[in-house]
Amino acid sequence: MPDVLGTATLYTVAKERIGMHLLVRLRKWLEPLADVEPARIIVGHGRGIDSRASAELYHLRANARRNFTQALRTNGWAQLRSFLGAVLY
């Protein structure tokens, strides 16, 4: 999960403290984590979440797909450049 979740502005939109990679927002891959209540979340991009981690994960699960269009407008080109840079170089 650390490579998919992040707190850097490249991953978050709206009022999210933690977000996810743009294309992952379309999938329901966070559903298996519905019963997980983490004390903290360590991410690969940005600072970890030390307070209210469980609530932030719930908020992300509830709003990830709904925030997709905003994430596309806000972070789409930057994430595409990042992805291509990692794959091509």
Q: Which tens digits make up the pLDDT trace of 24-75?
A: 898 877 788 788 899 999 998 899 999 999 999 999 989 999 999 999 999 9
**In the prediction, which pLDDT does 77 show?**
93
Please tell me whether the overall predicted TM-score, pTM, comes out greater than 0.95 for this model.
Answer: no
Locate tokens 């806000």: which residue? 74
Q: Are 40 and 50 in contact (CB under 8 A)?
A: yes
Q: CA 5: distance to chain centroid? A: 4
**Nearest Cα to 82, choosing from 17, 7, 11, 1?**
11
